[in-house]
Amino acid sequence: MIKSDNSKIFLVMIFPSLISVILLTFVPILRSFFIAFQNYNFHDLSNIHFIGFENFQAVFNSVNFNFSRILLNTFLWITVSLFFQFVLGFGLALLMKEPFKGRGVYSGLVFYPWALSGFALGLIWAWMFNGQFGIINDVLRKIGLIHQNIGFLSDTRYSLISVIIANIWYGIPFFGIMLLAALQSVPLELYEAAEIDGAGYFIKLFKITIPYIKPTIISTLLLRTIWIMNYPEIIYAMTGGGPANSSNILSVQMINKIIKFLNFGEGAAIGVMIIITMCIYVIIYLKIVSREELTF
Amino acid sequence: MKRLMIVLLSIFLLVSVLSFSALATKVEINFIEAYTNPNRKILLKEIISDFEKLYPNIKINLISPPYEQATQKIVLMLSTKQPLDIVEVKADTIGLYVGNNWLFNLENYLAAWPDSKTLLPAAWQLARTVDDTAYIIPSTVYSRTLYYRTDILEELGVDSIPKSIQELFEVCKEITDSSKDQYGFCFRGKNQQIDNIHYLVLPFLDDLNTTNLYRKTDGKIIWDDPRVVEALKLYVRLFKETSPKDSINWGFNEQINAFGSGITPIILQDADFIGACDETIGRGKFMMAPTPVGPYGKVYVILYFPSLSIASNSKHKEEAWEFIKYFLSPEVNAYYTKNNSLLPIHSVTFEDDPYFSSGIFTPWAYMMKHPEMYVLGQPPVVSPKYAEWMQVSNNDLQSLLLGDISVEKLVNKWVEYWQ
Amino acid sequence: MKIIKKFMKFIALMLYLILAVIPLYWIIITSLKDIKEVFVFPIKYLPQVISFESYRKLFVFTNFAIYFRNSLMVALIASFGALFITVFSGYAISRCGFKFKRSILISLFLTQAIPGFLILVPLYTMFAKVGMLDKLPSLMLLYINIMIPFSAIMSKSFFDRIPISLEEAAQVDGCSRVQALFKIVIPLTLPGLSAIFCFCFINTWNELFLAVMFINSDPKMTIPVALNSFISKIGVGWDILSAGIVISLIPTLVIYAFAQRHIVAGLTGGAIKG
């Protein structure tokens, strides 16, 4: 039982973090919120003024960057990546739960993708998916699955699934590490009791393991969803959102608006949309899974 | 003893005054590039250090942001008045920079610079792109030309190099035999496809406004002109019948490889292709020809021109100009362009320098001598829509080549875009 | 039956391993190839000649050693800085009884919902006004700020697992609160704290956009910016880029391998029972 303690010293301890976040995160965000309602475009900085929801309208109605397509891609990017990252990561964690010889080295090798930068990783995968010199095409041809090279990153049918595959590969270690840690905290007595009652593998899994590590599952899924949305370096490095918007998602479109088209107002509008969506998602998510404290 | 002290003190004072004044007069200027690449950076640093030896009181800091983020970085720095002196400018940002009053008017400097007399007329024209005033000076000027594999075409029995777009299509089609993995035209579909359109579709019109090639002299938009529709249909045929299906995904690297391996021995490319070819197949195996003309005997030559400028709030404009004069002087410019596989900007270099007046560079000389055939023109690069246009047009052209939309639908879309 | 199960498990583990390692293998191989072998068809899975030319070019033609030093400095200082700050913050949030404790936690969590790229321009103008651009310490400050929310939440959860009775016992023995923190609590959460350090290091080591915009001078550049500058108008310089990626992987893998044991142990909450 933690005593309720209101010592001033806690304020002092929290102070640096609060100041930093307020000054370097919240203040800029506020500024961005304002800019979302201004015509802040680097092409003409002389006449920046309030334009209401025009930026948002421009984004929604954009003929060349089909908003509904971008939304669909965003949805697919998040859900498909998340699903496979979780399932495969969980599978890996289950496989690694029992100690085996060389597990230390093995975990080092199989979890390392987490240490890579999304950008570098995007480049590596882009190279592997390359339509002419990529090893993926080469292997698929050698085993006879395809007869002609596929332009994974330049074919509108394959670009989204390609970036998603790279993203899944990137995210498996995260779930692997977190879930493995959680799995190892499950008391063995629970399993022994179940075995005496004759429970098989899957019953143990679903009735004991998963409920016990539920907090970890909830927190990792939530966090990972947000990260998948807000860290699209993989897409940026692999396809830049193309071709023809086929792999474009909200956060990539925001980056493009700012870097390529120098239209910060519209970029900020997209950013605002992303933040609001994510906040709503977090709030609803936490309400649904009820008062789970944010622990790991 | 006292004498010695006085002498030492005087020497000390003298030295401090001198070094202080030396420090005081040493000027640091910032030069930001927009086309960073590792090889060029070394070349630039070499030229900079030679310059610093000649002008020991000027120090130049080279800022080299990655190519993809360069524009944004320059824009951020200029808009927050960071200390920038020399700014490398890309063609599609000139309008932006001048519009925001970030660039310094160079007309007076140019008038007083003797070497400016030997600048190519094209260089002058481009320098004055915005408001007919020179805010920039190109450091190189070139356009797309035709490259071909001399050995492969000889093998295949091609004895005349295409001079017109129609001939280009016919020659490429003749040598294409997909069963033998032999094709003709080296397509580039991954990005910047609009440049293909500039060279393969625009020449089908003869009444274009050269300051804005997307409009005719009567002010109308070009895209729904029936001649454009015909040209686009030929364009699609060029892709479908003379180039590998894969080439819709080809970028620069893939093109080098395809040209180098001989699958597609004919290509329209920029001057920096020369360096890549030298490296992969060697100078002897390829040759350049003038850009193919359209049915009216004309082609609109759009010059690519990275250029230098001085920031309007630079505090060291004189020193910045000293470097620009040095860098763009005929000798240094020749050295720079030679080592970077680019074209120089002074007519004397073309006439006097053996490297530039012979061999593969002869087509350019020919093109310069016939401005009635090789007409200088510009698409609306200064329009704020142009940056987005590059991506939009690429998307649309890919859809066109994949058969997802028809030519008619595409031109209607484009008419609306530029309305 | 058991043998089959074991065999299947082995196959599954091997599949995961192969999938994980292939890209790494491929980028290492590419960096060891001669430039002429890179764009070649049919694809060479093993270089005919092992060539360190790409590495030589990397260190001779670009100032990669300096970039490496810069990245190392920035990442280490930012990570230690973030760790230091969030040890205190996480501890305070864990132990305090403030009414707005939950709101602090939720707002920290919500900062993760912010796409970092969005605040780049306002931050830039902010730093421009106070002349803090083109300085590595500014970059460190920015990185620390980015790492604070997640690290504070993580460290709070580690401190939550340490029973307060331990501190109370120490205080009875005459320790101040802070002393108890350093003498008792921190040693017990060391595994978790090394996990946080590792996480901070990896993220600051790999950060790209802030580094590009906030640093101008060549001698101050960091590795991600340098790698990105190998991509130019004419495409990707795969030789030096692959060499650069391999080299830049080394510190992260070292830190990761070193902290790995602690990470897994740390995330299970340490060895305290009761």
Interchain pair B246, A131: CB under 8 A: yes
Interchain pair C85, A28: CB under 8 A: no
In terms of residue numbers, what domain contains A157? 66-288
CATH of the domain at A249: 1.10.3720.10
Chain B residues close to C62, C-beta within 8 Å: 38, 41
For residue B139 the two structure tokens come to: 């450091």
User: Which domains, ranges and CATH numbers included, belong to chain C?
Assistant: 1-52 (no CATH), 62-267 (1.10.3720.10)
* Residues in a beta bridge with B27: B58
Say yes or no: do domains B25-141+305-345 and B145-302+362-418 share a fold.
yes
Interchain pair C89, A13: CB under 8 A: yes
Contact C153, C159 (CB under 8 A): no
Residue B65 φ then ψ, to 5°:
-70, 155
Given the cut 0.90, state whether the ipTM is greater than it: no
Assigned domain for A194 exists: yes
Option in B62, B67, B77 nearest C233 (CB): B67
For residue A219 the two structure tokens come to: 């927190």
**How do the pLDDT tens digits run along chain C, 274 residues long?**
788 888 998 999 999 999 999 999 988 988 888 776 666 666 777 777 788 888 998 998 888 999 999 999 999 999 999 999 999 998 888 888 777 787 888 888 888 888 888 999 899 999 999 988 999 999 999 999 999 998 998 888 888 877 888 888 888 887 777 777 888 888 878 878 888 898 899 999 999 999 999 999 999 999 999 999 998 877 778 888 999 999 998 998 888 877 776 665 555 443 333 2
Option in B68, B72, B402 nearest A262 (CB): B72
Instruction: Report the residue of B43, B68, B274 to disrupt the C interface, i.e. the one with the largest count of C CBs within 10 Å.
Output: B68
Chain A residues close to C22, C-beta within 8 Å: 128, 135
Chain A residues close to C122, C-beta within 8 Å: 27-29, 31-32, 35
Assigned domain for A5 exists: no
Interchain pair C228, B68: CB under 8 A: yes
SS3 letters for B231-281? Answer: HHHHHHHHHHHHCCHHHHHCCHHHHHHHHHHCCCCEEEECCHHHHHHHHHC
Ordered by start, the domain boundaries in chain B are: 25-141+305-345, 145-302+362-418
Segment 258-277 of chain A within 8 Å of chain B by CB: 258-262
Q: Which of C261, C126, C151 is nearest to C201 (CA)?
A: C151
Quick: pLDDT tens for A242-286: 777 788 899 999 998 888 888 899 999 999 999 999 988 888 887
Interchain pair B38, C125: CB under 8 A: no
Q: Is C175 on the interface with B (CB under 8 A)?
A: no
Interchain pair B246, A41: CB under 8 A: no
Task: Name the domain count of chain A.
Answer: 1
pTM of the model: 0.85
Q: Is C117 on the interface with B (CB under 8 A)?
A: no
For residue C126 the two structure tokens come to: 């902010």
Contact A81, A171 (CB under 8 A): yes
**CA-based angle B171:B175:B178, to the nearest 5?**
135
Longest Cα–Cα distance in chain A: 78
Q: How many residues would you count in chain C?
A: 274
Quick: pLDDT tens for B286-341: 998 999 999 998 888 887 788 999 999 999 999 999 999 999 999 999 999 888 88
Residue A287 φ then ψ, to 5°:
-65, -45
Assigned domain for A236 exists: yes
Option in A92, A184, A254 nearest C117 (CB): A254
Chain B residues close to C121, C-beta within 8 Å: 76
* CATH T-level assignment (fold) for domain B145-302+362-418: D-Maltodextrin-Binding Protein; domain 2 (3.40.190)
Assigned domain for A232 exists: yes
Superfamily of domain B25-141+305-345: Periplasmic binding protein-like II (3.40.190.10)
